[in-house]
Amino acid sequence: MAEAMGFGHAVKRKEDARFLRGRGNYIEDIKLPGMLWLDIVRSPFAHAKIKSINKEKALATPGVAAVITGADLVPYKLEWMPTLMSDKQMVLPVDTVMYYAQEVAAVIATSRYAAADGVAAVEVDYEPLTPVLDPIKALEPGAPVIRFDRPEKTNRIWHWEVGDKAAVERELKNAAVTVAQDIYIPRIHVASIETCGCVADWDPVEGHLTLYMTTQAPHAIRTVVALVTGHLGLAEHKIRVISPDIGGGFGGKVPVYPGYVLATAASVLTGKPVKWIEDRSENLQADSFARDYHIHGELAATKDGKITAMKMGVVADHGAFDAAANPSKFPAGLFSIATGSYDFQKAFAQVDGVYTNKPPGGIAYRCSFRVTEAVHAIERMVDVLAHKLNMDPAELRAKNFIRPEQFPYKSALGWEYDSGNYQGALDKAKQIIGYDALRQEQKAKRARGELMGIGISTFTEIVGAGPSHTFDILGIKMFDSAEIRIHPTGKVIARFGTKSQGQGHETTYAQIIAEELGIPEEDIAVEEGDTDTAPYGLGTYASRSTPTAGAAAAIASRKIRDKSRKIAAHLLEAREDDLAWEKGKFFVKGAPDRAKTIQEIAFAAYTNHPLGMEAGLEAVDYYDPPNLTFPFGAYICVMDIDRGTGQVKIRRFVAVDDCGTIINPMIVDGQIAGGLTMGMAPALMEEIVYDDNGVNLTGSFSDYLLPDFERERRGVVVGRADNGWCAGIQREKTDERMCARAIRLSALHPLSAIYHAQRCGRF
């Protein structure tokens, strides 16, 4: 029998065998009898009145079965749909388009090409209107109001603030040293390898809808679909959402997109399965946008560098519909982490979400909600202060870090950090990269007129979205779930409410169960993404899967182990208290040869269980963590900058991450390396750009640039330091708390280190 490896072993990813052999099952691979294709007519204007839509030529196009407009949806009350974040969004407009590439009509045809021909034949008469593209101008008095449907006649979606504003302003007024910085974090795109899509299959006989979708949150999407269609008699138990293999998500496949609803409506209309998959240009122009934040920050400090107060204001451009961020439960995208790793006694932060004539933004891209932006802002401000004080940036950070003995630490913006060793992380990064020698080299190069940048970024992140007292989606508390069933032969099937998009869940979850039950990973099958078979969960995003569903797997395993103890006592004719557990078996204390393996116990659970006990060996757990987790790290980037061209070359990059309990070192290393590469992209090349008319100028990979992983990584040295700064999945805690910080994405913190290296090279 194979050995259960459990935590700390670089187990090869179980899922890779099928992916490397082309056996992945994606939306494009789903082909149903009689299936039709849906394509979408999109607006060429960022803001316009729709005067008329003529379908006749499209309906006469060979292969076209139907054309749907907003007016067609009105009788069924389907022209609007709720977003996941307490707003509503047009499925199709009736008389006004709000952004460039917005959905205007849908064409259903016998093939993708026939549908595209039909789209080209639809005639739309527009009356262009002036778009509002600048969120700051959108807040000015007299600015055109974008959302005519809202009773609030303003472009401000919401205002959120936290901290003591008056105390901070007094400190800024009286401080010996102050600095201020304006920062723009541009709009970027998820750009995952697979675009969004779905197949809707309506069964008119059973009144049942099956939706195959590229969604990171199948159960939440099912609930949204039920809310949209409930008045038409389509109840939630008649809806099945299946999320097959997904080619990357990064937060962009959490929201509900109009294409999903249109495919559903088209399937009901035609009585046939309908497939919709957006092409790359549609993907880059119409959905999955993140950031686009204007930030103003101020710091107050003493002459020797002790920071006494921080003030931060943010204007967040969320486009025409607020699809993915709600300050009531995600505190303005967690900008309340803006104090970072620092011991600020006074702090104030405010965020205004703003409507503009752009596609919906606010995706929690590559990181928990808005943490990256908050970290980047405070790190930039600290660097500006270091420059003003003529102090080494590492020294200034050390002077202001929260010290280990201060934990648990209550920040000036309200969060209670569980643990941290920020100075230790920075010292480790400095030691790995040879910081002091690099500063000497930089000094010598400057004397010769050469530019060399050294950028530092330290961070405290807030991840593991789950505590129900803080988070919800549509009012549903953000727990997550695991169902584990051991068959008579000792093999396991485990089902989860999350959904992997490449994170390695099949391997990670199997290792958690193997650690708890001693069953080899190869004997554990992991399933996700089917709402008919998996327990209800809120999905995968915001670095939450291991802290919530992984913790649920551990607790469900312990429930199974508790029942197994009773069965083992029955088989061994011993008292339960006389049994001891060793990974994979129970044995009689003092007589280790008298033992029963978990496989033997599983067989007995179906054939020879104690009288009065239910047969079977399975458990379900819905885990609601008591708190978020606060992982941290320190990154240092070294780059050379060509004075004549401005071209940069990253020479070295060191990342020290608090990973907590590392379940699989290989997966952690892969995620850190991927995170570093993805951090380089927005720092050096990624930006969604619009012209003055709101037209997206970066609608293809010729214009929207992404890094080549191998080429970019060749110039990078990554140092990963394992550490014991967090207990991770705390297996010995009697209160079952699951810190579960393990396998945290490095996300975009490289952006700060790279940007600071560029700036430092120019000082």
- Which is nearest to 543 in space by CA: 744, 372, 742? 744
Split at pLDDT 50, 70, 90, the class of 738 is very low
Burial class (CB in 10 A: 0-12, 13-18, 19+), 488: middle
CATH 3.30.365.10 holds for 289-399+417-466+627-762:
yes
Map tokens 């943490």 to a residue: 371
Q: What is the Cα–Cα distance from 563 to 606, expressed in whole angstroms?
A: 13
DSSP single-letter state for residue 63: T
* Domain boundaries 479-623, CATH class: alpha beta
Instruction: Judge contact between 630 and 420, C-beta under 8 A.
Output: yes
Q: What is the pLDDT of residue 737?
A: 29
- Whether the per-residue pLDDT at 33 is higher than 90: the answer is yes
Map tokens 């290296």 to a residue: 757
Could you tell me the two tokens for 702? Answer: 């010729």
Q: What is the Cα–Cα distance from 104 to 40, expressed in whole angstroms?
A: 7
CATH 3.90.1170.50 holds for 27-129+196-277:
yes
Strand (E) or helix (H) holding 170? helix 165-174
User: Integer distance in angstroms from the first to the last C-alpha of the chain?
Assistant: 62
Q: What is the Cα–Cα distance from 323 to 333, expressed in whole angstroms?
A: 13
- Reported as a single tens digit per residue, the pLDDT across 285-334 is 998 888 899 999 999 999 999 999 999 999 999 999 988 755 444 545 56
- Reported as a single tens digit per residue, the pLDDT across 221-260 is 999 889 888 888 889 999 999 999 999 998 889 888 999 9
Q: What is the pLDDT of residue 723?
A: 36
Q: What is the Cα–Cα distance from 352 to 427, expressed in whole angstroms?
A: 37
- Whether the per-residue pLDDT at 490 is higher than 90: the answer is yes
Q: How many residues does the chain have?
A: 763
Q: What is the pLDDT of residue 118?
A: 99
Instruction: Judge contact between 197 and 214, C-beta under 8 A.
Output: yes
Split at pLDDT 50, 70, 90, the class of 751 is low
DSSP single-letter state for residue 368: S
- Whether the per-residue pLDDT at 742 is higher than 70: the answer is no
Residue, of 702 and 721, whose pLDDT is higher: 702
In angstroms, what is the C-alpha Rg of the chain? 27
Q: DSSP H helical segments within 370-467, as ranges?
A: 371-389, 393-400, 422-433, 435-447
- Whether the per-residue pLDDT at 610 is higher than 90: the answer is yes
Q: What is the pLDDT of residue 748?
A: 38
Buried-exposed string 208-240: b where 16+ CB fall within 10 A, e elsewhere: ebbbbbbbbbbbbbbbbbbebbeeeebeeeebb
Give how far Cα 237 sits from Cα of 475, 497, 570, 762, Å. 19, 16, 41, 61
Q: Which of 17-26, 286-295, 675-684, 737-746 has the lowest mean pLDDT?
A: 737-746
Order of strands, sheet of 96-97, starting from the edge strand that comes earlier in the sequence = 96-97, 48-54, 123-128
Residue 125 bridge partners (DSSP): 52
Burial class (CB in 10 A: 0-12, 13-18, 19+), 166: exposed
Q: Find all residues with CB under 8 Å of 18, minimum gap 6, and list them.
A: 24
Range of 90-99, 415-424, 653-662 with top mean pLDDT:
90-99
Instruction: Judge contact between 510 and 520, C-beta under 8 A.
Output: no
Please tell me if the domain spanning 289-399+417-466+627-762 has the same topology as the one spanning 479-623: yes
User: In the chain, what are the domain boundaries?
Assistant: 27-129+196-277, 289-399+417-466+627-762, 479-623
The beta strand positions in 561-679, using DSSP E, are 579-582, 585-588, 591-597, 617-623, 632-641, 648-657
- Whether the per-residue pLDDT at 53 is higher than 50: the answer is yes
Give how far Cα 137 sits from Cα of 141, 184, 669, Å. 9, 15, 44
DSSP single-letter state for residue 614: P
